[in-house]
Amino acid sequence: MHDGSSLLDQVNQSFAKAAAFTDHEPDLLAQIECCNAVYRMSFPLQRDDGTIEVIQAWRAEHSHHKLPTKGGIRYSPDVSEDDVMALAALMTYKCAIVDVPFGGAKGGIKIDRSRYSDHELERITRRYTSELVRKGFIGPGVDVPAPDYGSSSREMSWIADTYIAMAGGDVDALACVTGKPVAQGGIRGRTEATGRGVFYGLRAVCSYADDMKALGLQEGLRGKTAVIQGLGNVGYYAALFLEEGGVVIIAIAEYDGAIVNPAGLNVADVAEHRVKTGSILGFPGAEDLQPSIRALELDCDILIPAALENQITSENVTRIRAKIVAEAANAPTTPEASRALGEAGTLIIPDAYLNAGGVTVSYFEWLKNLSHVRFGRLEKRFEEVSNRKILDLMEGTTGVSIPDKDREQVRGPGEEDLVNSGLEETMIVAYREIHEIHRRLDGKADLRVAALVSAIDKIAVTYENMGIFP
């Protein structure tokens, strides 16, 4: 159930609400909101049994205010042109919020990937890529895809290989797509990036003592309870890092049901149980809950929808008891439900900010591919030697010997260290900007509006600097 409006309508409603708090000209706002280009394609697939099937697919480039455009490719039987346009718009706003210099884009292939063999999926992906190349909808400086729902680093490796074969010796060709395997130009930390960004974002939000006091909560993450919907890539890593940060994960929901334990679930053990049994259900020490959507209604401090859109709607919003709804998925809360939660005093951390970790680290991967050097390669040993010299100097001036076990902890930053540091800085600075706008609006708008106001203002400045709008 999605309250009768499409995802594109919901995104545009949120945009209009935020635009009302800016003083930009209507023509400029119309340009920021509109989708600049959509490529719809149909192509034949020869199945393994020799039959022919026509595949429907899209690529939407929402905004060219900065290039390249950036966004994932969704493999889903439910994807539509409107969905792709809506998700591309969200990517535009997301990139602006976290100061990643891309326009927004999104791709969609209308298939249920479980119905296709690996060879068929490869043929679909490579044909989709060749269509994008022929129409100029992919390239390091044009449009850079990434994984999304139903796709992974494997599909990205096929895209990179196909593009390189067609690019004619472009030395930057690997930067045509992100989310690749590390051995094929990917970057360490990308797999965990969105979930780690959720952790950093929640930690930043919970660091404001006055905001937490208004919710009846203590400052910080430690001791808070959380429910996770979706144990895919995003939900798993978000849950894992939150657990390490002292959050008690009391429930995890998947498509086939949920498991609950008020004393807390061990996330890694749940994931291992799923690998062994094919389901999270039946996890030792936990109670099974059916249907899984009921997990969203459990009493907790933090609810993290990390699955698909339209999970909290007018139908179930009155039963949501979480004090914080942290949108790790794209558009999991409909506008009507968002409004109702706000009126009930629930703090919603918007998706356009909270799940921006993926595109942030994709940006780092893109930079790595363009620079042709691994992060940390030039400075790692230099910094390690410099730090050891500082320790030697401290010993010489203080006369205090530093134990060998402490000396062994001194090392220069590797690629993953630098990636995580950059992601942490990005999430902290972005929330500081959102919080300042929220404070300036003085209760007239929620964090979603504040985040979109931040995005609109930044995009508007780019257009104004182009001289297109006065």
Q: Which residues are catalytic?
A: 106
**Contact between residue 333 and residue 355 where contact means Cβ atoms under 8 Å apart:** no
Q: Which residue in 129, 127, 179, 191 sits closest to 153, CA to CA?
A: 179
Q: Any alpha helices (H) in 355-413, and if so which ranges? A: 357-371, 380-398, 404-407
Token pair of 93 as six digits: 């706003």
Tokens representing 19 are: 């635009």
DSSP SS3 for 465: helix
Cα gap 85→10, rounded to integer Å: 12
Nearest to 34 by CA among 73, 56, 64, 74: 64
> Order of strands across the sheet with 52-61?
37-46, 52-61, 103-109, 69-75, 143-147
User: CA 270 to CA 282: how far, in whole Å?
Assistant: 10
What are the angstrom distances between the C-alpha of 431 and each of 27, 60, 98, 206?
Answer: 28, 28, 9, 11
SS3 labels along 437-453: HHHHHCCCCCHHHHHHH
**DSSP code of residue 49:** T
Structure tokens at 52: 């022919």
Write the CA distances from 456 to 14, 139, 197, 384, 421, integer angstroms.
12, 26, 22, 42, 27
